[in-house]
Structures are given as structure tokens and as C-alpha cells.
Amino acid sequence: MALLTWGNQYSVGVSALDKQHANLFCILNELNDAMKSGQSKMVLGPLLDELMAYTRHHFADEERRMKEAGYPGLDTHRIQHEALTRQVVEFAARFKSGEVALSIDLMEFLRNWLTGHIQGADKEYAPWMSKQAVQ
């Protein structure tokens, strides 16, 4: 069973960003499935790296689009992105050093943060981006 299922309730009205959000759901689901099936650190590590790399790519693209559209909440949004990035990088380092394991609690945190961020902060920029005809 998937940890996350993409649906219209997560759409921000910018097709490229919606596709990226859906892809983040897929990566997080892969990581969750691997964790639940007891995959080795050799499988979980690369999936966690993929999640981090794609998240950075997505955040950079989202921030670029907001900047181009003159979105007034960009600085606040960027701070939220930086905070999540720091948390995930710190966890990944702890995981790779053997200090912590992937857990249901971590997966719940990632799920809640991703869905909460999309339905909160990302939905806040949606009307602005639509008004600016950002696609």
C-alpha cells in the first residue's frame, strides 16, 4: 500500500511543479516500500540520496519560478525549503553512519511535511502563479 497517493487536492495549478510533486510522492513511496520490506542499507541509501537530490532540484525550480513571477512570499518559502533540506541531510548522514535506521516515524514525518507543505505554503503561491500565467 502506498504511503502517498497523488490527487488533485495537491495540485498547485503549475503543471511542471505538479509533476515534480507527484514524482516526490513516487520516490517517497519507493523508499517506504523498501523500508517496510526490510531492504538493505545498500538499497535504502541510494533511494534516500535520490529523494534528497530530487527535492533539491524541485525546490530550486519552484523558487526560480516564484522569483520570475515576482511572488512576494518567496523569502519565507525559501526558508521552509532550507529547513527541510537541513533536516533530511542531517537524517541521511545519521542513517549512513549507522546511527539511526529508517522508521515508520521518519516516513510519517516526510509524508506529513510534504503533504502539509504542498497543501499549505505551496497552495498559497498558487493564485499568484496563476495570475502571472506561470506554467
| CATH label of the domain that carries residue 90 | 1.20.120.50
* 114 occurs within a structural domain: yes
Taking the C-alpha atoms of residue 115 and residue 5, their distance in angstroms, rounded to an integer, is 10
The grid coordinates listed for 122 are 505551496
Taking the C-alpha atoms of residue 109 and residue 129, their distance in angstroms, rounded to an integer, is 28
Task: Write the pLDDT tens digit of every residue in 20-37.
Answer: 999 999 999 998 998 888
* 53 occurs within a structural domain: yes
Task: Write the pLDDT tens digit of every residue in 74-133.
Answer: 999 999 999 988 988 888 888 888 887 878 878 888 899 899 999 999 999 999 998 888
Q: pTM of this prediction?
A: 0.91
Taking the C-alpha atoms of residue 129 and residue 73, their distance in angstroms, rounded to an integer, is 11
pLDDT score, position 71: 95
* 66 occurs within a structural domain: yes
> What is the number of structural domains in the chain?
1
* 2 occurs within a structural domain: no
CA nearest neighbour of 85 among 112, 54, 111, 107: 54
